[in-house]
Amino acid sequence: MILDELSPSRARRTLSAGTRALRALRLDGPLTGVLALILCIGVLVVYSASGQNVRMVERQLGNIVVAVTALVLLARFSTPQYLRLFAPLAYALGVLLLIVVDVTGHVGKGAQRWLDLGFMRFQPSEIMKLAVPMICAWYMHDRPLPPSFRDLVAMAVFIAIPTALVVAQPDLGTALLIAASGLIVMLLAGLPVSIILLSIPVLALAAWGGWHFVHAYQRERILTFLNPMSDRLGAGYHIIQSQIAIGSGGVFGKGYMHGSQAQLDFLPESSTDFIFSVIGEEFGLLGQLSVLGLYAFVIGRSLYLAMQGQDTFARLTGGAIALSFFVYVFVNAGMVSGIVPVVGVPLPLVSYGGTSMVTILAGFGILMSLHSHRKLVGS
Amino acid sequence: MFRRVRIKDHWGERRVFTIRSIVAGIVVAVLLLTVAARLFYLQVVRYTYYTDLSQGNRVRVEPIPPARGLILDRRGVILADNMPAYQLEVERDQVGSLEQLRASLARLAQLGLLDPGDLPHILQTVLSHRPYESVPIKLALTDQEMAIFALHRFEFDGIDVHTRLSRNYPFGPLTAQAIGYVGAIGPRDLEHIDPTLYAGTTLIGKLGLERTYESTLHGKPGFREVLVNAAGRPVTREGPYRPKLKTKLPVAGSDLILSLDLRVQRVAQEALQGLRGAVVAIDPRNGDVIALASSPSFDPNEFARGLTFKEYRALLDDPNKPMLNRALQGAYPPGSTAKPYYALAALHYGVITPDEQIFCPGYFHLPGSSHLYHCWKHGGHGEISMRRAIAQSCDVYFYNVANRLGIDRMHHFLSQFGFGKPTGIDIPGEASGLMPSPEWKRHAFKNPADQVWFPGETLIVGIGQGYMLATPLQLAHAVATIAARGRSFVPRLVIGIRPPGAKHMIPLPPIPEPRVRGITPAQWEVVDEGMEDATKPGGTAWQIGQNAPYQIAAKTGTAQVFSLRKNERYNEKTINADLRDNALFISFAPADDPKLAVAVMVEHATGEGGQVAAPIARKVFDAYLLPPPTTARSTTARSTTARSTTARSTTARPATAVPAAPTRPMPRPADRTGAARGERRPEHGMVGTR
């Protein structure tokens, strides 16, 4: 396969019609295939988890169509040059929209994450998941690596602005994911090891300080994560029911559409945030490990594609997209199995819902575009 | 300002990125493996734990209480069955706090559904159960009470009406003494029952056979798994997820087949109408208790229905003591009915021969004492032998017998007939009576002066007075032993058990007791004849021998319940009714082939044993030994008496009509209990050995 990429002459001989189509669309075959597989699994599980709700499946298929379209368009028509130009614009637009959301949310009292555009509702914080790593990569593109202290401060500011705005919504989970996507760029760019080590006590201090800053319900979430049984029917209910669902699935699961926890509504948010528990209950350990394996392949393949990037922007953006994807997987799987606090993060590509799916597949579109629009050495 | 310009090192930067990516890849792998390990822990290591939790989540187990076993008489007539009743039940954890529970109960009392005086007791009962258990607080709601509750139901969380099988005693007071009754499971019952066996059951045997045979009658509860959703509501799902839910049917309790013969029981109970007394009839051939009557009686249905504390108190405080089962809880001086045993003792120990004549001048004078021991017959019996002494109940003859025997031999010999110890009948609460001895007296009294046995006391015990006490059941058991010439059996009420679903009962063998030995047939014959003479002209019970198509052997007794002062004579008319003598009668018939032994005791009778108690025994014999009378005659007699023997004190509720006895057990009350007992109907006439 590697040879396919590197030597066109040999590749030409083995090209099938499908591969040729992938080539024409500038898609990466293995990555596209596995992503498609994950999407199919997602649809099947949503059908079961929603209590055999056909309407939800239809809407999810619609979401997939939109997201896949975004992927294909980005992969086919965006080039690294355009993307580099687009990054600051996207970032600026995103920050603007976040301010709008915060202001309207403040007026409307309560959490405000959506922007109603009339024909669709839209979550500006989702843009930031891509815009933040891209702006950081854009910033480092012309600068020598590893980044100087100035560069680090600059990137920290790029990260801090949207993160603070999302925290203010308040949406701590998304804020952390946005911050993580930016930090990933910093790490990949060559953040000095001394700073990484130094940041550990600083982060601990920040956590202590943040404890008094976060909302009561967020504090409660962390407390119940530490001891779910302290609040069986309240905040701990989600975690307990999720672990019951997973644990009772055993190695082989209870069978498709036979998970009692999900089917009898004991498992909350079974189609969205806790869909991984449904997989655990109905398909068991084998099912969950298979899904994790597919995710691992996606992450590995993405990292591999990123490593082949020919410039800093391509590499950093690609790496950030790959590792952000991992963060989503880890936070969600860790949450439902009880090793990470409950954060409202969907399982990427499987959970019911359109926004995050569009963002994620758009990210992969960018990744593939950056890879397929390389100037091939020796050609 | 000097600004350091760094040249981009593309290969170097690419290397840094690659190294960082590989490190990141390793971190990713480690973290994903952590998640995998966690999943392994949940799904493999703790699989059982979470499976149980999941099972508990989706399935609620509801107990199905078993149907209680029926109780039938020896001919198959149902004496106790089950019928549906509306119960008011409370589930504590649905009510909320203790304060809310108190308030709800108080409100129910305000509506007239509970008696205010019962509230503390009800609260205690509710609190003694586990919070999620449904505890009955009122056992049988009338239609009117149902309507009242329905109107106010919205006020009561956690309190609702449930249909349960309640106990029904078709013959009410008639069989109450033997069968006892069931009541709501109370705090004291909970101490000794296995709560898992009683899940869903609200009633438990409190007295009589219902209590003794509780484990036999109760059965085993079943359960039903109910699919519930997260809100705890039962659901039936149409989707593909239809789990198999287990249902285990309850095993009904076993039926009890009694030795009682309802016809005889009815006659005995009716004969005691308006009296305080007891009748016990025993088959001397196997110890079967054919009738066990005590008067006044009570209606056990009121207990199954749920008595208020006040009503219960009133029953206990009734001066006629309807709750006292006189047949086996009342100990009375046996009076002259003890004489046949002393006669046998005298023959056994050879202190007298049957033909020895003893002169009765109307009194007995113990050497060395100034006290005169009187015979009931003023002028005395003159020269008298054993046979006539029994038939005419000569006291002087038996003073002599006692004097010659001595108290130790009297004590030892009569103990063989069961005096002084419980007979071991299969219902609880039996009194042991008293067969006195010098040794007993040493232990029974504190004052050393009272611990001495006086020779005069021997004489008094010799005519069944003094310290000697016996229950009517002991009297019947003892006379049955004479009837069977020394063979005896533990009296029993249950002759067979029919397991659920079985067609035939498993008979329980009679329980033989050690035989009374050392008495020759000729000696038995003397006493037998003396007792037969008692029902012949000249005997003390000559009236009942008239027109009897079979020969009755009997002994009358009239026992003083208080001591006469020295040389004083008893005069029925001048004495307080409570202090009047008790009339007693022991008998068996037919004398040549005894099939039934009957003991009768009437408290404070206006007449002697031969006049008051003997006719009752005759009716019992007639009912058992003669062919049944025509139905027309018996129904009229029935309904009146069954009712009137109920405790009708100032406090008792207006007694509900006791249904007339069906001559056949049709239509069967059991049918009303529905499918639960469907196939288990007893076949008429399948029991009974006569």
Say if CB B561 and CB B335 are below 8 A apart.
Answer: no
| Residue ranges of domains in chain B, CATH in brackets | 63-258 (3.90.1310.10), 328-626 (3.40.710.10)
Q: Which residue has the tokens 């926004």?
A: A355
Bond from prior residue into A170 cis (ω within 30 degrees of 0): yes
Report in angstroms the alpha-carbon separations of B308 from B137, B304, B315, B383: 11, 11, 11, 62
Euclidean distance between CA atoms B676 and B66, whole angstroms? 8
Euclidean distance between CA atoms B609 and B535, whole angstroms? 12
CB atoms near residue B44 (< 10 Å): 13
Task: Determine the structural domain holding residue A112 and report its residue range.
Answer: 83-214
Beta strand B203-207 with B222-227: parallel, antiparallel or unpaired? unpaired
How many domains does chain A divide into? 1
Burial code (b: 16+ CB inside 10 Å, e: under 16) for A159-188 equals bebbbebbbbbbbbbbbbbbbbbbbbbbbb
- Over chain A (379 residues), the average pLDDT of each successive run of 10 is 50 69 86 95 93 91 93 89 90 91 65 60 83 93 85 92 87 86 90 84 80 70 61 66 90 89 84 92 95 96 91 91 95 90 85 89 93 68
Name the DSSP class of B181. Answer: E
With beta carbons under 8 A apart, name residues in chain A contacting B35: 292, 330, 333-334, 337, 339
With beta carbons under 8 A apart, name residues in chain B contacting A330: 28, 31-32, 35
Rounded to the nearest angstrom, the minimum Cα separation between A44 and chain B is 14
Q: Residue type at A90?
A: A
The active-site residue out of B295, B336, B385, B393 is B336
Instruction: Give percent above pLDDT 90 in chain A.
Output: 45
Q: Would you call B336 a catalytic residue per the annotation?
A: yes
Angle at which helices A172-189 and A312-337 cross, to 10°: 140
CB contact under 8 A, B230 and A245: no
- Residue B406 φ/ψ region, left for φ over 0, alpha for ψ in the -120 to 50 degree band, beta for the rest: left
Say if CB B330 and CB B209 are below 8 A apart.
Answer: no
Euclidean distance between CA atoms B72 and B668, whole angstroms? 12
Euclidean distance between CA atoms B648 and B322, whole angstroms? 9
Q: Is residue A90 part of a domain?
A: yes
Say if CB A90 and CB A127 are below 8 A apart.
Answer: yes
Instruction: Give percent above pLDDT 70 in chain A.
Output: 85
User: Is B25 an 8 Å CB contact of chain A?
Assistant: yes
Euclidean distance between CA atoms B427 and B180, whole angstroms? 9
CB atoms near residue A50 (< 10 Å): 20
Check: complex ipTM more than 0.85: yes
Q: Which residue has the tokens 């056979």?
A: B209
Say if CB A355 and CB A126 are below 8 A apart.
Answer: yes
Closest among A373, A358, A355, A379 to A123, alpha carbons compared: A355
Euclidean distance between CA atoms B40 and A337, whole angstroms? 10
What is the tens place of the pLDDT at every residue in A222-277? 666 665 555 555 556 788 889 999 999 999 998 898 888 888 888 888 888 899 99
Q: Is residue A121 part of a domain?
A: yes
Rounded to the nearest angstrom, the minimum Cα separation between A73 and chain B is 27
Q: Residue type at B6?
A: R
Euclidean distance between CA atoms A305 and B587, whole angstroms? 113
pLDDT of residue B655: 35
CB contact under 8 A, A285 and B49: no
Selected for mutation to probe chain A from B43, B45, B237 (highest A CB count within 10 Å) is B43
Chain B residues 29-58 with a CB less than 8 Å from chain A = 29, 31-32, 34-36, 38-40, 42-44, 46-47, 49-51, 53-55, 57-58
Whether the model pTM is above 0.80: no
CB contact under 8 A, A244 and B53: yes
Closest among B130, B132, B122 to B195, alpha carbons compared: B130
Residue of B nearest to A284 (CA): B43
Q: Which residues of chain B have pLDDT under 50?
A: 1, 563-568, 632-690
Please state the three-class secondary structure of B381-415 as a single string. Answer: CEEECHHHHHHHCCHHHHHHHHHHHCHHHHHHHHH
Chain B residues 58-97 with a CB less than 8 Å from chain A = 58
Note the Cα B545 to chain centre separation in Å.
34
CB contact under 8 A, A292 and B16: no
Q: Is residue A132 part of a domain?
A: yes
Name the DSSP class of B504. Answer: S
Q: Within 13 A of A160's CA, how many CA atoms are on the CB side?
A: 6
Chain B residues 207-236 with a CB less than 8 Å from chain A = 227-231, 235
With beta carbons under 8 A apart, name residues in chain A contacting B18: 307
Tokens standing for residue A136: 């950081």
pLDDT of residue B51: 86
Q: Is residue A269 part of a domain?
A: no
Using CB atoms, which residue from B53, B230, B239 is nearest to A248?
A: B53
Burial code (b: 16+ CB inside 10 Å, e: under 16) for B121-132 equals ebbebbebbeee
Closest among B690, B652, B686 to B315, alpha carbons compared: B652
Euclidean distance between CA atoms B197 and B200, whole angstroms? 9
Q: Residue type at B579?
A: L
Say if CB B469 and CB B601 are below 8 A apart.
Answer: no
CB contact under 8 A, B24 and A319: yes
What is the tens place of the pLDDT at every residue in B611-629? 788 889 999 999 999 887 6
Euclidean distance between CA atoms A375 and B197, whole angstroms? 81
Q: Is the dihedral of CA B172, B175, B177, B179 positive or negative?
A: negative
Q: Is residue A189 part of a domain?
A: yes
Q: Which parts of B96-185 are beta strand (E)?
A: 134-138, 159-168, 181-184
Name the DSSP class of B510. Answer: P
Burial class (CB in 10 A: 0-12, 13-18, 19+), B150: exposed
Task: Tell me the helix, strand and coil percentages in chain B, rounded to 5.
Answer: 40, 20, 40
Say if CB B223 and CB B61 are below 8 A apart.
Answer: yes
CB contact under 8 A, A264 and B20: no
Burial code (b: 16+ CB inside 10 Å, e: under 16) for B440-474 equals bbeeeeeeeeeeebeeebbbbbbbbbbebbbbbbb
Rounded to the nearest angstrom, the minimum Cα separation between A172 and chain B is 22
At a CB cut-off of 8 Å and minimum separation 6, what does B64 contact?
A: B200, B221, B222, B223, B224, B248, B249, B250
Q: Which residue has the tokens 């999302």?
A: A166
Euclidean distance between CA atoms B67 and B82, whole angstroms? 7
B627 forms bridges with which residues in the sheet? none
Tokens standing for residue B437: 């001895």
DSSP-derived 3-state class of residue B683: coil
Say if CB B578 and CB B252 are below 8 A apart.
Answer: no
Q: Radius of gyration over alpha carbons of chain B, in Å?
A: 36
Q: Is residue A207 part of a domain?
A: yes
Euclidean distance between CA atoms B645 and B219, whole angstroms? 33
CB contact under 8 A, B44 and A251: yes
Euclidean distance between CA atoms B43 and B48, whole angstroms? 9
Closest among B586, B510, B614, B553 to B289, alpha carbons compared: B510
